[in-house]
Amino acid sequence: MTIILIVFLFVIACSNISDNSTENEAAQEGKYQEVIALTDPALMEPAQNARDFKMQAAEYMNDLLIAGAELQGRMQGEFKPQEWEYNIEDEMSSYQAAIKHAKSIPKPSSKLDSIYTVYMAIINKYEMLPSLAHKAIDSNDIEIMKVVLSQIRNNEEQYEQLMKINSQERFNTKK
């Protein structure tokens, strides 16, 4: 299921690369500036168990996973380092808004501190990527950009592992 989601997000990111109309870019820029409002009250309350936290983490991370896939697709589509800054700035704005949203997850009950700590560590790794990408852009260094792309993939894998841990803990508590 997770692989299907990642493939779906990658396809979306690739399709966004081919659409270069200024009208669409202006609409997307406006979309990037807003943080999605969650309407389910359960998503705004501190989680009391691993299942609830997994649900919250999935909702709060969704935008970040999409923004990361879009950024990754855009960066892979730009082969001239001097064009990176101009062509990925919108994705960077979306990415940074998604990081802010993901960090706003309510802190769960104290029995879930370890899961919450892992979740926040993953978010913090995502948060470091824009400065690393800007460093690559400023120095026109393709090798640094490869590190950024690799780190995005690593972050996605760590998030998948967190979701598996949550699923296993839920299974173990039902026995």
Give the position of tokens 């979701």. 163
Q: What is the pLDDT of residue 165?
A: 63
Q: Structure tokens of 47? A: 């989680």
Q: What is the pLDDT of residue 107?
A: 93
pLDDT digits (tens, 9 = 90+) for 120-163: 998 998 888 877 877 877 777 778 878 877 887 787 788 888 77
Q: Structure tokens of 158? A: 């760590």
pLDDT digits (tens, 9 = 90+) for 15-73: 555 444 444 444 444 444 444 555 577 778 888 888 888 888 888 888 888 888 887 77
pLDDT digits (tens, 9 = 90+) for 76-110: 765 566 666 667 777 788 888 999 999 999 999 99
Q: What is the pLDDT of residue 144?
A: 80
104: closest CA among 60, 160, 68, 39?
Answer: 60
Q: pTM value?
A: 0.64
